[in-house]
Amino acid sequence: MVRCAGDPPYLILDSVIQLNHLTKRYGDTLAVDDLSFTVEPGHVTGFLGPNGAGKSTTMRLILGLDTPTSGEALVDGRPYTTMRRPMAQVGALLDAGAVHGGRTAYNHLLCLARTNDIGERRVAEVLDLVGLTGVARRRVGGFSLGMRQRLGIAAALLGDPRVLMFDEPVNGLDPDGVRWIRDLMRSLAAEGRTVLLSSHLMSEMALTADRIVIMGRGKLIAEATVEELTTRYPTLEDAYLALTAGSVQFGAAR
């Protein structure tokens, strides 16, 4: 079944991301409008929506970077900002560019690791995992977008968290990297972790995600499994275009 906006959210479980009537207003703009949904463990949940739909804002609200105007975002049943060592619970990559370009990859990760008492051995492990060991002593300023994405994923994995959020991690990656991310996301979910993944690449999302949440103009448009959507529509892309048809704010006429 396709759960639509207005229906009650799913059951409360461990290591879930739960949004209850989450609302964020910037001046006159309602970026997130009474958003309620739950992201459960064991799946890759694809987070879709047109540009400006409020996906990134929603992720920032979950991480406590922005304060909701009303409603709440909970991880494991508590607000993110109350966590003392959040890296062991939640890992997130929101913006691969949000690093100091003058720092080496190794020092960048070690700066983050130290805040949560994570040791140097784990830093070396995640560098190895994302394939950046060879450039660990190079400054991040010289990295390509793909390398920065890998560095951001390494940072998200540092604390071995149960909940992971990635905002457009595939951007800038080469075909090898795209497949690597797909396999990584699926293996993280198979280990029982909660994975929330946003992307605009529908074919990639169809291969990676099990469940889909679609947002438009700050509101929830649909919540369904990939299977349900591809049964009702020829492809995930067709499903996405049909469901978001009324919510596109920036784009050519179609």
Partner 1 sequence: MRAVVSSEWLKLRSVASTYYALGVAGLMVVLGVVWSVYVSGLADARGSVRAAAPEEGFLPLVQISLAVIGVLAVTAEHATGMIRTSLTVVPARGVLLFAKTAVVTAVTFAAATAVIMTTYAASRLVAGERRLGFNESSFAENVPTLLASALSVTVLAVVGLGLGAAIRSTAGALVSVVSLLFVLPGIANYLPAPWNTRIAALMLPNLTPQLTGERLSRRLGDGILPPWAALLALLAYAAVALGAGLYVLSKRDA
**Which residue number, 78 or 179, has a Cβ lying nearer to partner 1?**
78
Rounded distance between C-alpha atoms, residue 33 and residue 249, angstroms: 15
Least Å distance, CB 80 to partner 1, is: 6
User: Rounded distance, CA 3 to CA 122, Å?
Assistant: 40
Size of residue set near partner 1 by CB under 8 A: 35
Applying CB under 8 A, which part among 10-18, 38-46, 88-96, 195-203 lies near partner 1? 88-96
Q: Within a 13 Å sphere around the CA of 77, how many CA atoms are in the beta-carbon half?
A: 4
| Side-chain half-sphere exposure of 33, counting CA atoms within 13 A | 15
- Binding part of the chain for partner 1, among 76-84, 125-133, 206-214, 243-251 by CB under 8 A, reads 76-84
Comparison of 33 and 204: residue with beta carbon closer to partner 1: 33
Distance CA 225, CA 77 (A): 24
The residue written with tokens 């994405």 in the block is 149
Each residue 114-133 as x (binds partner 1 by CB under 8 A) or -, in order, gives: xxxx----------------
C-beta closer to partner 1: residue 102 or 231 = 102
CB nearer to partner 1: give 20 or 116: 116
How many other C-beta atoms lie within 10 A of the C-beta of residue 48? Answer: 25
User: Measured between alpha carbons, how far is 244 from 171 in angstroms, rounded to an integer?
Assistant: 22
In the complex, which residues of this chain contact partner 1 (CB under 8 A)? 60, 63-67, 80-84, 86-87, 92, 94-95, 97-104, 107-108, 110-117, 155
